[in-house]
Amino acid sequence: MLKTLRTVVLAGLVSLSPLAAGAASTKKLNVVASFSIIADFARHVGGDRIDLRSLVGANGDPHVYEPRPADVRTIAAADIVLVNGLRFEGFLRRLIEASGTKAPVVELTKGVRPLKSTEQAHDRERSGHHHHHGDYDPHAWQAVPNARIYVKNIVDAFCSIDPPGCTTYETNAKAYDATLSVLDDEIRTTIARIPPHKRVVITAHDAFGYFAHEYGLTFLAPEGLSTDAEAPASDIASLIRQIKRDKVAAVFGENITDPRLVQRIAAETGSKIGGELYSDALSRPDGPAATYVDMMKHNASTIRKAIAPDVP
Ligand SMILES: [Zn+2]
């Protein structure tokens, strides 16, 4: 009985403290995220205590982003800058130098076990000589366990720069982490329903290495890890041969890539276009991937519906 009472009292304190802390500080933490997916993580952790801006917005491609003059001012005014790291944001170094910002720049992939880009690139036969030996695949958010690490890193970063808000950040993150844990289970269940021999799909660029590694699929992509170079014709030809030989179930467009390449591959191989996956950016608020959780659910269910439509 005593234990139950104490639990109730503690729960009451926890739910009150964010309000008290919020009232005590008037100035919000000025947070800049490099792209939309990181901004969504930051919003869940920071809640009302932060003002949040994303440099690359919905449906924007961080690989080839060209900063605007306004971005220099945004970074200059930041209290903290959240980035992916693993050399994902090629535009960032120039921008930070130009802004003269003293704000900490926090790489959220710290503590993630990075996948070597060669793990995927060498999975398939390729005739080109442009493998990025020694580079890591930066798309770590595409596995939910890694997203949970990003969130933990955001809490640590916010707590170090805004100690009075730490309880709020930890409370917010705990609730969000529970959501991510459920999401992770849902994706495993969805993919497990697909017969293993069917789990081979095509996307435009190699953004789904962590998804493949975590949940047990194979993704083939003509464009490689970045979207900044066109796929060589020889690579596309060899991919088309492989699709025909392996009877790949479906090809998918991506929200950040030109649809013509996958349309051509679908036409030449007779495979169907399974829909659009969200890789390196969220959709706009009225789209199917307005949040990270929605994005991951959308991708898993779109793949499942395309390659195993008979499976519930
Ligand atoms: Zn990418």
Residue pLDDT, tens place only, 191-250:
999 999 999 999 999 999 999 999 999 999 988 888 888 888 888 888 899 888 887 889
Residue 127 Cα to ligand 1 midpoint, Å, equals: 22
Residue 23 Cα to ligand 1 midpoint, Å, equals: 40
Residue 124 Cα to ligand 1 midpoint, Å, equals: 19
- What is the structure's pLDDT at 242? 86
Residue 224 Cα to ligand 1 midpoint, Å, equals: 9
Handedness of CA 30, 36, 41, 47 (dihedral sign): positive
Buried b (16+ CB within 10 A) or exposed e, 49-67: bbebbbbbebbbbbbebeb
Residue 204 Cα to ligand 1 midpoint, Å, equals: 10
- How far is the C-alpha of 302 from the C-alpha of 292, rounded, in Å? 15
Please compute the mean of the pLDDT values over residues 16-39 and round it to a whole number. 75
Residue 62 Cα to ligand 1 midpoint, Å, equals: 7
Residue 216 Cα to ligand 1 midpoint, Å, equals: 19
pTM: 0.86
Please compute the mean of the pLDDT values over residues 65-72 and round it to a whole number. 95
Above 60 in pLDDT, residue 166?
yes
Residue 201 Cα to ligand 1 midpoint, Å, equals: 17
pLDDT digits (tens, 9 = 90+) for 90-113: 999 999 999 999 999 999 999 999
Please compute the mean of the pLDDT values over residues 308-312 and round it to a whole number. 84
- How far is the C-alpha of 71 from the C-alpha of 96, rounded, in Å? 10
3-state secondary structure of 272: strand
- How far is the C-alpha of 237 from the C-alpha of 1, rounded, in Å? 71
Residue 247 Cα to ligand 1 midpoint, Å, equals: 25
- What is the structure's pLDDT at 118? 57
